[in-house]
């Protein structure tokens, strides 16, 4: 049983989101008024609270039905899987208190008899919770003064017994109480007042819940969307954290495209919100497929909410570019959830995606395209849905990848219909570049918080072998892609070849001229050697002539000397 705490006692409702809005539940042992129009979910909220109290907290409960019979209410609620038949054995009691339609409005009609019967049942069951469903129905049989009197009688009866009570009633404009005096007075008596709304906006059902008052407790004052699904009511409330969500991860998850990983310093950060924008056909879904395949290959359980494409069609299309999703779907690591945007409100999609991700134990969630949530009827609500989705993902440690169409035809604006680009941690923009008479896909990283990243526009290439990014190729300050790039590359190759041929011709000419010079040098060297040899011969011959002249001079000298000697001796002899 829920134990009351002085000054802050709360009775959990079991309605996801509502307990978070009210800080734990409805006021314990006090009265809560729930008002709303037809189909707003008043009975569902009240009954779900009783079922949760009986099943989860051991608090027996009584449901007093003034409009529908208990049997019909139980039959309607069977679709939620609450097992009301089992609870009615000992934890939940339905009391039919529909007024006699033939009873004329009179001032002497009161609730005394019913409350006396309830006293006995409360004591028998040990009931701690009670619901008075559609109280306005019985008050409509009273005049204004009697309605106020019986409202006070009921309120005092509840406070005396310390019962946690929910009173449901039609919103102003729907109830049959003259002047709404009775229920208007009740707004000031109760400790908590909740207003439910159910409107149709451009053909799309939109439900909301607002806590009007809650004495002694803080609460979310703004209206929050709600959905009624397979398990009952769920309020699409995600508390915005006042401080840190928890440890911030520096771990990287591969994008599935190695060159894109390099642009992002290793990939997406875990727990990041990633946005991929672009016009139709720019390969947004293909980038999602590459990420999903890589994530599942690395052991990450992944949920893909495919809003525009059925799972089989999605897997077939991506297989044409070498992305295999059939294998992770088969082994259970990837769950593809078809979710046509026209099927319901943006809130229904948010709750369904969140519940599916939690049930799957997903660490990665893909929504493709999230901009579809802004279709007719959802425009005014879709931005807040994405805010709550991002907050939920960060709080749950989930890496969220969303795609979105651009808001305008002018790519340079790079604006999204939901204006969610400011919420994204990493924003990748895909575009068409029309060059040379053809369209080519371009990819650029607009921003990536906490990541050193390239701002260069890269050409995105798709073929049956996979997805990759082309090397950056620029000419005249412009990035060239596709045929124009190939033509420019071919022109540059031809230019380089012509330059190489010209250099080769110049090399051969220089080689020939050098060879000719070498030959002339060798000839001149040989001629020099000949001249030098001739010079040596002349020098030698001159030396030989000089020696012969010297020898002849000496020889003549001897001859002359001999002649003198011979002459002198002869004269002496003669003498």
- Asked if pLDDT for residue 323 goes beyond 80, the answer is yes
Task: Give 348-373 pLDDT, tens digit per residue.
Answer: 788 888 889 999 999 999 998 887 77
**Residue 394, φ and ψ in degrees, nearest 5:** -65, -40
Residues 6+ apart with CB under 8 A from 301: 333, 334, 360, 361, 362, 363, 364
Task: Give 489-516 pLDDT, tens digit per residue.
Answer: 677 778 888 888 889 999 999 999 999 9
pLDDT of residue 332: 94
pLDDT of residue 370: 84
Where do the domains of the chain lie, and which CATH numbers do they carry?
Answer: 10-235 (3.40.50.300), 252-472 (3.40.50.300)
Collapse the DSSP code of 261 into the 3-class scheme (helix H, G, I; strand E, B; otherwise coil) and give the result: helix
| Strand bridging mode 252-253 / 268-269 | antiparallel
Name the H helices within 241-398.
Answer: 258-263, 284-297, 311-319, 326-331, 346-360, 379-396
Residues 6+ apart with CB under 8 A from 245: 394, 395
Q: Give the span between the Cα atoms of 276 and 215, in whole angstroms.
A: 45
The single-letter DSSP state of residue 334 is E
Mean pLDDT of 420-436: 81
Worst-scoring range by mean pLDDT, 3-12, 23-32, 105-114, 360-369? Answer: 3-12
- Asked if pLDDT for residue 436 goes beyond 90, the answer is no
Query: H/E element holding 193?
Result: strand 192-201
Worst-scoring range by mean pLDDT, 70-84, 360-374, 431-445? Answer: 431-445
> Tokens 């106020």 — which residue?
148
- Asked if pLDDT for residue 342 goes beyond 60, the answer is no
pTM for the predicted model, two decimal places: 0.70
Residues 6+ apart with CB under 8 A from 340: 307, 308
- Asked if pLDDT for residue 244 goes beyond 60, the answer is no
Degrees, nearest 5: CA angle 107-111-114: 145
Mean pLDDT of 148-158: 88
Q: Give the span between the Cα atoms of 518 and 540, in whole angstroms.
A: 32
> Tokens 């990536």 — which residue?
448
pLDDT of residue 167: 94
Strands in 476-558 per DSSP E: 478-479
Work out the percent of the chain whose per-residue pLDDT is above 70.
82
Mean pLDDT of 92-106: 75
- Asked if pLDDT for residue 400 goes beyond 90, the answer is yes
Work out the percent of the chain whose per-residue pLDDT is above 90.
32
390: exposed, middle or buried (Cβ count in 10 Å: 0-12, 13-18, 19+):
buried
Q: Are 82 and 208 in contact (CB under 8 A)?
A: no
Mean pLDDT of 71-99: 84
Mean pLDDT of 255-261: 93
Q: Give the span between the Cα atoms of 44 and 48, in whole angstroms.
A: 6
Mean pLDDT of 285-291: 95
Q: Give the span between the Cα atoms of 37 and 55, in whole angstroms.
A: 29
Worst-scoring range by mean pLDDT, 43-57, 187-201, 219-233, 470-484? Answer: 470-484
Worst-scoring range by mean pLDDT, 52-66, 250-264, 370-384? Answer: 370-384
Q: Give the span between the Cα atoms of 309 and 337, in whole angstroms.
A: 10
Higher-confidence residue: 57 or 350? 57
Q: Are 272 and 252 in contact (CB under 8 A)?
A: no
Mean pLDDT of 423-442: 82
pLDDT of residue 573: 47
Collapse the DSSP code of 88 into the 3-class scheme (helix H, G, I; strand E, B; otherwise coil) and give the result: coil
pLDDT of residue 521: 92
Query: H/E element holding 459?
Result: strand 458-463
Q: Give the span between the Cα atoms of 238 and 114, in whole angstroms.
A: 41
Most confidently predicted of 6-20, 293-307, 404-418:
293-307
Q: Of the candidates 391, 535, 18, which has an alpha carbon nearest to the alpha carbon of residue 234?
A: 18
> Tokens 């979910």 — which residue?
41
CA 225 to chain centroid, in Å, comes to 22
Q: Give the span between the Cα atoms of 464 and 70, in whole angstroms.
A: 62
pLDDT of residue 6: 45
Mean pLDDT of 308-334: 93
Most confidently predicted of 78-87, 398-407, 508-517, 544-553:
508-517
Q: Are 142 and 107 in contact (CB under 8 A)?
A: yes
- Asked if pLDDT for residue 230 goes beyond 90, the answer is no
| Maximum CA extent, the chain | 216
Task: Give 172-227 pLDDT, tens digit per residue.
Answer: 766 554 544 446 678 888 999 999 998 877 677 788 899 999 998 889 888 888 88
pLDDT of residue 574: 47
| Strand bridging mode 232-235 / 252-253 | unpaired
> Tokens 């037809």 — which residue?
38
pLDDT of residue 409: 46
Three-state SS annotation for 216-258: CCCCCCCCEEEEEECCEEEECCCCCCCCCCCCCCCCEECCCCH
- Asked if pLDDT for residue 49 goes beyond 50, the answer is yes
Worst-scoring range by mean pLDDT, 18-22, 309-313, 340-344, 401-405? Answer: 340-344
Q: Are 133 and 101 in contact (CB under 8 A)?
A: no
Higher-confidence residue: 133 or 473? 133
pLDDT of residue 174: 62
- Asked if pLDDT for residue 379 goes beyond 60, the answer is no
Task: Give 513-549 pLDDT, tens digit per residue.
Answer: 999 999 999 999 899 889 889 898 989 888 888 888 8
Query: H/E element holding 65?
Result: strand 61-65
* Sign of the torsion formed by the C-alpha atoms of 146, 149, 155 and 159: negative
pLDDT of residue 81: 84
CB atoms within 10 A of CB 125: 15
Q: Give the span between the Cα atoms of 388 and 241, in whole angstroms.
A: 11
Q: Give the span between the Cα atoms of 177 and 172, in whole angstroms.
A: 9
- Asked if pLDDT for residue 296 goes beyond 50, the answer is yes
Collapse the DSSP code of 446 into the 3-class scheme (helix H, G, I; strand E, B; otherwise coil) and give the result: strand
């Amino acid at each position: 049983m829920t134990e009351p705490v002085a000054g802050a006692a709360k009775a959990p409702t079991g309605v996801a989101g509502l307990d978070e809005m009210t800080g734990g539940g409805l006021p314990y042992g006090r009265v809560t008024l729930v008002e709303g129009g037809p189909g707003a979910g008043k009975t569902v909220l009240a009954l779900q609270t009783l079922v949760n109290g009986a099943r989860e907290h051991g608090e027996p409960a009584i449901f007093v039905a003034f409009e529908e019979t208990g049997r019909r209410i139980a039959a309607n609620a069977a679709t939620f899987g609450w097992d009301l038949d089992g609870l009615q054995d000992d934890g939940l009691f339905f009391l039919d208190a529909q007024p006699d339609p033939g009873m004329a409005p009179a001032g002497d009609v009161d609730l005394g008899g019913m409350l006396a019967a309830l006293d006995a049942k409360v004591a028998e069951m040990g009931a701690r919770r009670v619901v008075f469903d559609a109280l306005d129905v019985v008050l409509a049989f009273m005049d204004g003064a009697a309605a106020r009197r019986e409202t006070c009688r009921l309120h005092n009866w509840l406070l005396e017994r310390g019962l946690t009570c929910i009173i449901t009633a039609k919103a102003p404009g729907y109830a049959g109480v003259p002047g709404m005096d009775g229920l208007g007075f009740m707004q000031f008596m109760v400790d908590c007042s909740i207003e439910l709304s159910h409107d149709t906006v451009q053909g799309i059902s939109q439900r909301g819940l607002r806590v009007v008052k809650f004495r002694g407790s803080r609460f979310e004052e703004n209206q929050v969307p709600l959905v009624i699904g397979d398990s009952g009511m769920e309020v699409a409330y995600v508390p915005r954290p006042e401080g840190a969500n928890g440890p911030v991860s520096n771990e990287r998850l591969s994008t599935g495209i190695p060159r894109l990983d390099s642009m992002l310093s290793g990939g997406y950060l875990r727990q990041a919100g990633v946005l991929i924008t672009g016009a139709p056909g720019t390969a947004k879904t293909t980038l999602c497929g590459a990420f999903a395949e890589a994530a599942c290959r690395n052991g990450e359980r992944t949920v893909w909410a495919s809003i525009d494409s059925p799972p089989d069609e999605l897997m077939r299309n991506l297989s044409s570019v070498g992305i295999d999703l059939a294998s992770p779907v088969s082994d259970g690591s990837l769950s593809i959830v078809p979710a046509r945007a026209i099927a319901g409100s943006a809130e229904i999609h948010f709750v369904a995606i969140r519940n599916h991700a939690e049930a799957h134990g997903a660490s990665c969630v893909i929504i493709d395209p999230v901009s579809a949530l802004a279709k007719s009827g959802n425009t005014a609500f879709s931005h807040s849905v994405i805010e709550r989705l991002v907050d939920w993902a960060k709080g749950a440690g989930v890496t969220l990848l969303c795609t979105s169409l651009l808001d305008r035809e002018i790519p340079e604006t790079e604006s999204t219909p939901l204006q969610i680009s400011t919420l994204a941690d990493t924003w990748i923009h895909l575009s068409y570049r029309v060059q040379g008479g053809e369209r080519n896909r371009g990819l650029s990283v607009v921003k990536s918080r906490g990541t050193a990243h390239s701002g260069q526009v890269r050409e995105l290439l798709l073929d049956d072998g996979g997805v990759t990014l082309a090397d950056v190729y620029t000419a005249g300050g412009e990035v060239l892609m596709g045929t124009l790039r190939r033509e420019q590359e071919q022109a540059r190759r031809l230019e380089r070849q012509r330059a190489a041929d010209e250099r080769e011709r110049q090399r051969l000419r220089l080689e020939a001229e050098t060879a000719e010079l070498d030959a002339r040098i060798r000839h001149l060297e040989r001629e020099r050697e000949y001249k030098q040899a001739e010079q040596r011969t002349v020098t030698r011959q001159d030396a030989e002539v000089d020696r012969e002249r010297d020898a002849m001079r000496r020889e003549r000298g001897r001859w002359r000397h001999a002649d003198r000697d011979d002459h002198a001796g002869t004269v002496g002899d003669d003498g």
